[in-house]
Structure formats: C-alpha cells, structure tokens
Chain A
Amino acid sequence: MISKRLTKSLFSRSNLRAVIAIFVFLVLWEVGSRSKDWFGFPMPWVGHVPPPTAVLVAWYGLLGDPGYWQSWYMSTLRVLAGFLAAMVIGIPLGLFMAVNKTFHGIVFPSFEVLRPIPPLAWVPASIIFWPTQELSIAFVTFLGAFFTIVINVLGGAKSIDPRFFQSAQSMGSSQWDVFRRVVLPATLPSIVVGSAVGMGITWEVVVAAEMISGGGGTTGSGGGLGFFIWNSYVGGSYEQIVVGMISIGIAGFVCSELLRKLGGYLTPWLRKR
C-alpha cells in the first residue's frame, strides 16, 4: 500500500517533468561546453564553462578529499553560528519593539538606518572590529539574517488583530498570559518566514565573506565553500568552481527545506488541508 503510493508520487507527472527538464538542461549544457571540440567554434557563454560530465568527474575525485568536506563543515558552522545568533537576538528584539512603544521609539530609527547597509559592506569594518577573522565572518553572516528576522517579527507582532488581546483580557489573562498565549503564537508564522528568508541570505553572505576575507584559514583548503570556489578560480580548476557552486545550492536547499518542515510542524493550524 505504502510502496504503491510512494511509487505513484515518485513517478507523478510533475516529478517526471522535473527529471526530464533537468536532463534536457544537462544535455544542452554538455553540448554547449563541448561545442568547440565538436563543431569547431565555442558557443557564446556556455562554450567556456566546463561540461557537466567533467564536473561530475571532478566532484567524484573530491568526495575522498577531506579538504572539500572541511569546506562544507566550515561554511555550515559559520552559517549556523550567525543564524542562531540572529534568531536569539533578533526574535526577542522584534517582539520587544512590537510590545513596547518607548523601546520601539529609541531603537527603531537606528535600526532603520543600519538595515539598508548590505552585509558585505560590513566586511572591512568587522575585520577591524573583531579579534579573529572567524568572528568577523560569523558577524557578517549574523547581520545577513538579523535584519530580516527582526523586521518580520516586528511586522508580524504589530499586525495581530486587537480583538485577540481584548478577548484574552476579558477571559482573565494576565499581561504575561497575553504575551505567551497570544503574541507568541500569533507571531510564530512571521518568525518562520523571517527565519527561512534569513537562512537564504546567510548562505549568500557567508560565501562572499569567505572569498573576501580569505576564508579565515592559512591553509588553502580550510576556509569554507566560498574560499574553496575562490581558490579553485585562482588555481585555474574550473570544474571545481562549478562543484563548489552546486554544493552551495544543495546546502541552501537543504537548510531551507529543514526550516520549512520545522515551521510546518510548529504552525499546524496553517497546514494545507
């Protein structure tokens, strides 16, 4: 029964379409990359990109390379550190700004001036501020998620229907009850959305920060996926550049998917019926 359903869902029309689309894309890419050898002239743009088969071969070679996995490990660690710090500081800050007008009045103006600054513009300053390069990369990663999380939490908490407060109060809720049983659950969907978007930004930021700052390690292979890509570029190994890029795509996808699952679990009332 279950296997039947699984087969059905695996071979559903939309999945089949996705598989065919990816396959066609890879074939076109392969043909485009090898156009110089096969037709005598390089196709514009793709003509200079390593073909997918070469990328797969390079990838296979890297699977046994501890340096490659070290890059994964370093980047993931930085993303997690920055992201968790952004959640731990950002969620209470957003909530507190939403419930306290004075605090909002004091903090929000500075917050709004700092928010539009791209996280990467912070790289030189944070290298100066923080004692180690590791900390400065984590800090820039933190900024990427922080502003998004705060603005989502604040917006979510401020748009709660006042009738929820009124009915909770009528039924004898204390201030703390209102916060815990109305403000928190009502803001949860915004927290989930803010975190998912923030997670995407941390992956963008961590890679760029690693490229700029040199990856935090002195040895070439210890500096994270961003440094891995940069190093491959400097070393002229174009297949590895693509491997690095796809690795980041996979990492970002897995993180988003995990957050989405967790978010769905935390907000069961929003599940599609």
Chain B
Amino acid sequence: MSAVMQDLKVPPQAGKAGGALKGAIRIEDVVKIYDPEGAAVMAVDHCSLDIPAGEICMIVGPSGCGKTTLLNAIAGFHSITSGKIYLDNELLCGPPEKPMAQPGADRIVVFQNGALFPWKSNIDNVAFGPMMQGKLSKKEIYEKARSIMADAGLSGTEHNFPGEVSSGLRRRVEIVRALMNEPKVLLFDEPYRALDSLTKSVMHEALLEIYYKNKVTIFFITHDLEEAIFLGHRLVIMTSRPCKPKKIIDVDIPHPRDYSVLTSTRYRQLMDETVELVHEEAKKAFSAGEKEG
C-alpha cells in the first residue's frame, strides 16, 4: 500500500508480465501550421514534451489554443508540419517522410461529446475494437467485455443502446470500450466538458479507479483546473494560440486520490499557483478572438 501511496511521478511497474510500463510519449519540437486558402495559421509552435509511461498528464489551456491539434497528431487523425512524435521510442510521425501517424489501437481517443456508435448496444460497442482486430474469438471477446463492464459498474446496461443510459454511464462505457483495446495511451479530449459538476466529480473518481486497475498513459486535455489538479500527475499549462507549454507543474499530491483532496491545503496552494497563469492565457485568447471577430 505504501508503495502505491507515494507520489507516482515515476509510476510503478505494471502488474502484468513484470515488464516495464509501456506508453511513453515524446513530443519533439512539433509545429503545426494550418493553411486554409494561403492564410497560414500556426496552431502549435515548437512544442516539446516528455510524458513517461503510466503518467496522467493534464494539458490545460484556453479553448481553441491548439491542444486538440496535438492530440489529433498523436492519434493519427491529422498531420504535423515539422517535428517528431515518438511512442516508446518508435517514431509515430515526423515530416517530411511521415507527416501523419497511422491510427492504431495502441492510442485510443475518448472524444468530447462521446463517439459511441448509437446503433450498437453498449456491449457491442465495447466489443467492437477486439472484433475488428480479430485476435480473440467472439466468445472470448464478449466474456471479457462483460467482465470489464462489470468492473466499471456497468452491469445491467450491456444490452441497452448508448442513447438509453445517462450521459455519465455513456462516458464510462466509452472509457471501457477504449480499454478493451489494451491501449498504451488513452487520449482524452475534454471528455467531461458537457457534464454537470456533480456527475463530473463522480466520473473523476471512476476514472481514477479504472486507472489504478489499468495503468496506461493518459493524455488528458481540459480547460478545467479543478479537474486537472485532481486527476493529474503533472499539469502542462499551454499558451494561447499558437500553443506550446508555458509551464509544467508537478502535482505532488499522492495517489490514490479521492474527493477529499479538493479540501486539502496543497490542492488550494496549487490552485492559487496555476489559476493566475491560466487566466492570463485565457485573457490573451479572448482578446485575440475579439480581434479576429
């Protein structure tokens, strides 16, 4: 227990196979310039970031600052203009030879408003990835899906459609669907943005619970500082567009955490330290937006 209780800046060994954790991301000097009709817009500006395997890395920045561009580059949905991104020392993308990463089951995105297939039942959604990859038999996949859903408190909703359960449960189904692929990295794109704050607090604890069972690297985009400090090992505060790390802050509150963290002095101190930094960037983004408008 004491091993778990200490700060997980250097995460412990994975439970299974005894090997080192996988899922370290290295972002090296990445630049992304959007060029719609010749008007070059720089979204990401020489961004470098090292995320050790098994870390919860919270990317905090104002809306529209280019955080999602970075996430899309890692996921393989968009190209980058220059720089390199590695996963476990393997090159994901690096122009000119490889401007775009290949999307893969080792990096699964949990989207902003959720991207569960509404035409598939919850368990069919959860089983989708392994069915596509075809490594296991159908029976094995559904057995695994049932047990992993039960673990996440989703028993009884297997045969409902996503549209038939609450938005909180839906998010949980989506995280479980992502985990079924045994990814090295989970990429969260403001997944709890549309949830009310009470549901959000429940979702945060549920996410940590799932994380303690499956230590994957988490790249989590948010503009909610409370969420960022509560969940993260580290906060990466981004500048407004073009985006690059402005300051990286270690959250030295030991894991496992629960919601009592929010009333601790350390949490208050971290909040005080960061709120000014974030506010500054938000103001910049706001006035830049006004100029464009």
Report Cα–Cα, A268/B124, bound state, in Å.
14
Interface string of B141-167 (1 = CB under 8 A from A): 000000000000000000001111000
Given the known interface contacts A166-B75, A268-B161, the answer about A171 and B133 at a Cβ–Cβ threshold of 8 Å is yes
Total cross-chain contacts (CB, 8 A): 59
Chain A nearest Cβ from B62, distance in angstroms: 22
Task: Say yes or no: A166 contacts B115, CB within 8 Å.
Answer: yes
Q: State which of B132, B162, B181 has its C-beta within 8 Å of the C-beta of A177.
A: B132
Task: Say yes or no: B108 contacts A185, CB within 8 Å.
Answer: no
| Residues from 144 to 195 in A contacting B, C-beta threshold 8 Å | 161, 163-164, 166-174, 177, 181-182, 185-186, 188
| Residues from 167 to 189 in B contacting A, C-beta threshold 8 Å | 181
Task: Say yes or no: A269 contacts B119, CB within 8 Å.
Answer: yes
Q: Cβ of A9 < 8 Å from any Cβ of B?
A: no
Cβ-closest chain A residue relative to B174: A167
Residues of A within 8 A of B77 (CB): 166
Chain B nearest Cβ from A65, distance in angstroms: 48
> Main secondary structure on chain B at its contact with chain A?
loop
Task: Say yes or no: B107 contacts A170, CB within 8 Å.
Answer: yes
Q: State which of A161, A163, A269 has its C-beta within 8 Å of the C-beta of B161.
A: A269
Interface string of A246-273 (1 = CB under 8 A from B): 0000000000000000000001110001
Given the known interface contacts A166-B77, A169-B103, A273-B164, the answer about A182 and B117 at a Cβ–Cβ threshold of 8 Å is yes
Chain B nearest Cβ from A193, distance in angstroms: 15
Report Cα–Cα, A172/B105, bound state, in Å.
6
Task: Say yes or no: B119 contacts A267, CB within 8 Å.
Answer: yes
Residues of A within 8 A of B132 (CB): 168, 171-174, 177
Residues of A within 8 A of B105 (CB): 170-172
Report Cα–Cα, A267/B120, bound state, in Å.
10
- Number of A residues with CB within 8 Å of any CB on chain B: 22
Given the known interface contacts A171-B128, A173-B132, the answer about A269 and B118 at a Cβ–Cβ threshold of 8 Å is yes
Residues of A within 8 A of B104 (CB): 170, 172
Task: Say yes or no: B119 contacts A188, CB within 8 Å.
Answer: yes
Residues of B within 8 A of A177 (CB): 132
Cβ-closest chain B residue relative to A266: B119
Report Cα–Cα, A172/B118, bound state, in Å.
19
Chain B nearest Cβ from A172, distance in angstroms: 4
Report Cα–Cα, A268/B163, bound state, in Å.
11
Residues of A within 8 A of B118 (CB): 269
Cβ-closest chain A residue relative to B163: A269
Report Cα–Cα, A164/B174, bound state, in Å.
12
Residues of A within 8 A of B83 (CB): none
Task: Say yes or no: B133 contacts A163, CB within 8 Å.
Answer: no
Give the interface centre of A172, A186, A273 by most chain B CB atoms within 10 Å: A172
Cβ-closest chain A residue relative to B113: A163
Task: Say yes or no: A170 contacts B103, CB within 8 Å.
Answer: yes
24 contacts between A and B (CB under 8 A): A163-B115, A164-B117, A166-B75, A167-B108, A169-B103, A170-B75, A170-B104, A170-B105, A170-B107, A170-B108, A170-B181, A171-B132, A171-B133, A171-B181, A172-B104, A172-B105, A172-B129, A172-B132, A174-B132, A177-B132, A181-B128, A185-B119, A188-B119, A269-B161
Enumerate chain A interface residues (CB-CB to B < 8 A).
Answer: 161, 163-164, 166-174, 177, 181-182, 185-186, 188, 267-269, 273
